[in-house]
Amino acid sequence: MPWPSLNERAQQLLKVLVERYINDGVPVGSRTLSRALTTPLSPATIRNVMADLEELGLICAPHTSAGRVPTELGYRFFVDQLLVHRDQGPDGREIGWRLRQEAEVGGAQAVAETASNLLSGLTRYAGVVSVTRQVRHNLRQIDFIPLSGRRVLAILVTQDGQVLNRVLEVGRDYGADELTRHANYLNERLRGIDLRRLREHLFVELKSARETLAQGLEEAISLADQALREGEDAPALIVAGQSNLLGLDDLPSMEGLKRLFEAFNEKRELLSLLDHCERGQGVQIFIGRESGSPTFEECSVIGAPYTVDGEVVGVLGVIGPKRMAYDRVIQIVDITARLMGSALNSR
């Protein structure tokens, strides 16, 4: 967006004002600014510059006191034009180790849960991770075990060691030998295929089975297809640390918090917001009404996509107040996104 033209003095004053307000949480007055500026300015000059900044919509007076606070536009100018990234992020080695450990013993869902908890713990805000596309897993083996009540347990084992269990409701009772024959048929034809592509292969196999009137093979394919469909409704969004937002002065009223927590539970609105991060490059920042949602208009959302094999498979991020330490939170989100992708790639 076209930014207002600010001279160096106005930029320095705005930068100090935003940093002090983020740090202290109280309106910043001219006396405080005078003590914090590296280049001394007279009180009259400071007041004149503050009046110019207020006229441009970058700061405002929350009440009749002499202090000023940044507006959403002021925060955006600060983030885009004035923020100097210092090495304030966490030790990436610890994050990477935690995520790699989880990747070795669990699946993508477990890694996402760990990442969400790490984001929440490091920022003291809410951490969110979306898994919008299934991470690539190639099939090693599929087995079927008969259960009581016309149910079958389908066990899918991937080549990286992940085990997926699905309980299938079927139309008749199956014997163990029959299910073993079905599994052998499927393993012979489908071993090594990416789970995301399995249903396409099943469709081809089903067509072939119907042309040869192979009833047993058609049932085997139907069982495998049902097992894959059972996994499609897995949670696509993981949220941790919602309680960190309670009691923060910079977040909305109780009614606003209620809408926010409803959005966490319902997830659709938050997934839509994170989808914008997925389509962007690198870390994306939405301040207040930039989110396009009344639910998040009192918040800032910082997110970044993570990739596996060069493909974006989800987004992670942090939801907190507009008055947050953007420098540190941006670095935490950026580091965690890169290390999460690395951990999933290592599988």
Residues 122 and 162 in one domain: no
Residue 290, domain member (yes or no): yes
What are the CA-CA distances from residue 100 to residues 84, 92, 332, 342 (Å)?
A: 31, 12, 17, 8
Q: Which of 266, 263, 291, 265 is nearest to 277 (CA)?
A: 291
| Residue recorded with tokens 């990286």 | 160
Residue 63, domain member (yes or no): yes
pLDDT single digits (tens) 40-59: 888 889 989 999 999 999 99
pLDDT single digits (tens) 171-211: 888 999 989 988 898 888 888 877 666 766 676 766 665 55
Looking at residue 211, the DSSP 8-state letter turns out to be H
Q: What is the mean pLDDT of residues 207-217?
A: 59
What are the CA-CA distances from residue 139 to residues 162, 203, 222, 319 (Å)?
A: 10, 17, 17, 36
Residues 259 and 128 in one domain: yes
Residues 115 and 243 in one domain: yes
CATH of the domain at 172: 3.30.390.60
Q: Which domain holds residue 71?
A: 8-82
pLDDT single digits (tens) 321-347: 999 999 999 999 999 999 999 998 876
Residue 1, domain member (yes or no): no
Residue 177, domain member (yes or no): yes
Looking at residue 320, the DSSP 8-state letter turns out to be E
Query: Is the whole-model pTM more than 0.75?
Result: no
Percent of the chain scored above 90 by pLDDT? 35
